[in-house]
Chain A
Amino acid sequence: MELVFKNTTGLVSVPRHYCPGCTHGVIHRMVAEVIEELGVRESAVGISPVGCSVIAYNYFNCDMQQAAHGRAPALATGIKRVRPDLTVFTYQGDGDLASIGTAETVQAANRGEKVTVIFVNNAIYGMTGGQMAPTTMPGQVTTTSPAGRDVNHCGYPIRVVELLATLRTPAYLVRVSAHDEVHLVQAKQAIRKAFRYQLEGRCFSFVEVLSICPTNWGLSPAEASQWLANTMIPYYPLGEIKTPDDGPVTEAHHAQ
């Protein structure tokens, strides 16, 4: 019989704790497949954040560190600077990266740390029970913005990729979405490219993945995907926002 599908060696085969319909699982899988395909599982060190994906250290089948809230890029810096031979990535949510970890994110990008950041933006704090995030959409109801996010009270959602794109330091900055199959194909290509930029020692690489949170949005998974497409993508445009000036990564070099 022909083998048409198998588990990636980049993930540990254990039940995961994510809610039904959550896109963390598929994003984990894409990152893990890229790690496997690039042959870097045995040199990879991942960093889990504080938030829904805090226990990612039990899911990725590579060495892992768990970071204080928002500090994953500082840990990544510490690891990569003393062990440049390792493949270092962080996996962070929007509260972790865009709120409490803003300084660590901006400064790691500005130093051009040769690490890869996977930024899962679902416009809400998931683990703590659906509070407003810096990425929460205007008018979006959360447990700490019960009347909807009032931009006169707390400003507009932060577009992290565009913010980082203002920095002079070369970087690979891309935004993708995990809300349907077509976008998942593009998302995996971006994740693969981001890791390849690191492996070539080229630049800081950062993939923002728009993600759904059916539980805290109070929607079914299908409705949540629709809401992401209709509400988030117009505000958070998809695509490569910045690439290094010195050309693209060499596709052949690290292919299996």
Chain B
Amino acid sequence: MGEKKLLKGCEAIGEAAIQAGAKAFFGYPITPQSEVPEYLSKRLPEVGGVFLQAESEVAASNMLYGAAGAGVRIFTTTSSPGYSLMQEAVSYMAGSELPCVIVNIVRGGPGLGGILPGQGDYKQATRGGGHGDYRTPVLAPSTVQEAADLMIDAFDIADKYRNPVLVLGDGLIGQMMEPVEFKQRSTQVVEKPWATTGAKGRPPNIVNSLYLDAPTLERHNIKLKAKYDAIEKDERRWEEYGNTGKLDILLVAYGTVARVCKTAVDEMTKQGIRVGLFRPISLYPFPDAELRSAARQAKAILDIELSTGQMIDDVKAAVEGRVPVHYYGRVGGIVCTPEEVAFHAGRVIKGEQVYTIGEYAGLVTALTA
């Protein structure tokens, strides 16, 4: 076991990538993740790695394409508007089957939005994001320690499936300082016989996503689908917290919000409420069967997000209409409190009208005016 260090989330993410054997970082500054390139600009040269500040997220992500194609472990970090610019390269990397890790420290949107935490990029992250029919595994940490652990796992998943892997955080995860321990892991050394490393003693390797012949492209798409099927079968991650079995209410939340919900679960449990939390850790693949199972004896579900409701579609699909699914969330960079969660959960339990996001925000504004 390694020693415990007090690190900012952004630093822990950068260091974890180095521990995972990442050889290079190509990135572009954007709040709230600029601490990652700042940290790596010092740290990567110390360990013989490559740090390069690109001219844009478009270029950074295409540098990843080149370096991933040359067979090395590479990654970048960005925030929402930057990840939108990377969609071109992510789509090409998915099509060319190149492994890499991208961290999106999500902020509020749309457009330039704000720099405070948000979860509005859920659908962009879990549905592929760019053009074409592809998926990227998405891992969502809720603590700095988990961010470090998932970063290391992300590289293994990327290499295993030859696919980009996304780590989805938010400004709180990135900026928070927590003790982190880098576990000694035997990170897999994966042979990459497909990489463009020079055609010495073998036929040339080609890294490419162009298939002009329709039947050939269809075969390629079917091959990718088989890969996504394997990912959906083997890479599901989730956590159940608090009470299980017969529940007055089951909370569903990920990332920072799940952390808030844990406090709410503890407080509500003390008040005798049978409440549990289901936390998807992999957002794609979404742990739908596991959620369905956790919700089997729940009277209701409250889905809580820092968006106007994106994951809720996956939650509803998972429970197949067997349990009523309610929504509560805050947006614009406002993070809900445990008290708010408990308040809304209480209304659901009592069968009272659940406020819409607009009604509730108006209520808060009126009360604090």
Distance between Cα atoms of A208 and B56 in the complex (Å): 25
B59 adjacent to chain A (CB < 8 Å):
yes
Pick out which of these stretches binds chain B: A64-72, A116-124, A138-146, A167-175.
A64-72
Contact call B59/A81, Cβ cutoff below 8 A: no
Distance between Cα atoms of A107 and B62 in the complex (Å): 13
Chain A residues with CB under 8 A of B204: 12, 60-64
Chain A residues with CB under 8 A of B26: 77-78, 81
Pick out which of these stretches binds chain B: A36-44, A194-202, A222-230.
A36-44
Chain A residues with a Cβ closer than 8 Å to the other chain, count: 35
Chain A residues with CB under 8 A of B207: 64-66
Asked if A63 meets B210 with Cβ closer than 8 Å, knowing A77-B66, A78-B63, A82-B50, the reply is no
Pick out which of these stretches binds chain A: B159-167, B191-199, B250-258.
B191-199
The number of chain B residues touching the other chain, given as a range, is 35 or more
Distance between Cα atoms of A54 and B67 in the complex (Å): 20
Distance between Cα atoms of A54 and B208 in the complex (Å): 10
Contact call A86/B198, Cβ cutoff below 8 A: yes
A176 adjacent to chain B (CB < 8 Å):
no
Distance between Cα atoms of A79 and B69 in the complex (Å): 8
Contact call A81/B198, Cβ cutoff below 8 A: no
- Name the CB-closest residue of A to B52: A81
Contact call A82/B74, Cβ cutoff below 8 A: yes
Chain A residues with CB under 8 A of B210: 54-55, 66
Contact call B62/A82, Cβ cutoff below 8 A: no
Distance between Cα atoms of A81 and B204 in the complex (Å): 21
- Name the CB-closest residue of B to A88: B66
- Name the CB-closest residue of A to B73: A82
Which chain A residues (59-113) contact chain B, with CB distance < 8 Å? 60-68, 71, 74-79, 81-83, 86, 103-104, 107, 111
- Name the CB-closest residue of A to B67: A78
Contact call B199/A41, Cβ cutoff below 8 A: yes
B206 adjacent to chain A (CB < 8 Å):
yes
Distance between Cα atoms of A12 and B206 in the complex (Å): 13
A203 adjacent to chain B (CB < 8 Å):
no
Distance between Cα atoms of A61 and B59 in the complex (Å): 27
Pick out which of these stretches binds chain A: B34-42, B88-96, B345-353.
B88-96
Contact call A82/B58, Cβ cutoff below 8 A: no
Chain A residues with CB under 8 A of B89: 68, 71
Contact call B200/A71, Cβ cutoff below 8 A: no
9 contacts between A and B (CB under 8 A): A45-B196, A62-B198, A64-B196, A66-B96, A66-B209, A68-B89, A75-B65, A78-B64, A79-B69
CB-CB nearest 4 A-B residue pairs: A78-B66, A75-B66, A74-B62, A78-B63
Q: Which residues of B contact A (CB under 8 A)?
A: 23-24, 26, 50, 52, 54-56, 58-60, 62-70, 72, 74, 88-89, 92, 96, 196-201, 204-210
Task: List 9 additional contacts besides A42-B199, A63-B197, A65-B66; criterion CB under 8 Å.
Answer: A12-B204, A47-B66, A57-B208, A64-B196, A74-B58, A74-B60, A78-B65, A78-B68, A107-B54
